[in-house]
Amino acid sequence: MQSEFACRGRKVSAAEVDWIRQLMAEHPGLSRRRLSAKLCQAWNWIQPPGQSRDRVARSLMLELHRAGPIPLPAQRFCPPNNAARHRAPARELVLAAPPRECSLAALGPVEIRPVRPTPAEKLFGSLLETPHYLAGVQCQG
């Protein structure tokens, strides 16, 4: 086990890890968030504007938990990733050329290139979001 940990420039000694263990023993019903708030208050761990370093404290406690020195309480809440829900709707995609109807051999060599970060990134994203024009068509065969 490490004798010292560090998180965002603050070194945490073995004695401080023991103090965190003691804090958790004194407040067994508290959530991770409440424990980190108590830790920030006790250590006067604040950001320059005066706000608590609560997220940094939770990050430190999670690092300690993963390394083994402290057992964190079970996670009570896992926020959903709503990035897809808040995305702007896709614009109607108008392609300059009609779809090609030929064999793959007739196309010639295929080149795969990264599109991030290039102007082609938006086109690639809109192609992925646009339903395929043959979607739902049943093949006869």
Report percent pLDDT > 70 for the chain: 79
pLDDT score for 34 = 92
Asked whether residue 30 is assigned to any structural domain, the reply reads yes
Sorting pLDDT into bands at 50, 70 and 90, what band is 91?
low
Residue 73 counted as domain residue: no
Identify whether 136 is part of a domain.
Answer: no
Q: Would 42 be classed as within a structural domain?
A: yes
What's the pLDDT band for 119 if we cut at 50, 70, 90?
confident
Domain count, the chain: 1
Q: Note whether residue 76 is domain-resident.
A: no
Asked whether residue 114 is domain-assigned, the answer is no
Contacts of 58 (CB under 8 A, 6+ apart): 32, 33, 36
pLDDT single digits (tens) 35-88: 999 999 998 888 888 888 888 888 889 888 888 888 888 888 777 776 666 666
pTM attached to this predicted model: 0.53
Q: Is 100 a domain residue?
A: no
The residue range of the domain holding 52 is 4-67
> Which own/partner pairs from 25-34 qualify as long-range (CB within 8 Å, at least 24 positions apart)?
28/73, 30/73, 31/73, 31/76, 32/58, 32/61, 32/62, 32/72, 32/73, 32/75, 32/76, 33/58
* 55 lies in some domain: yes
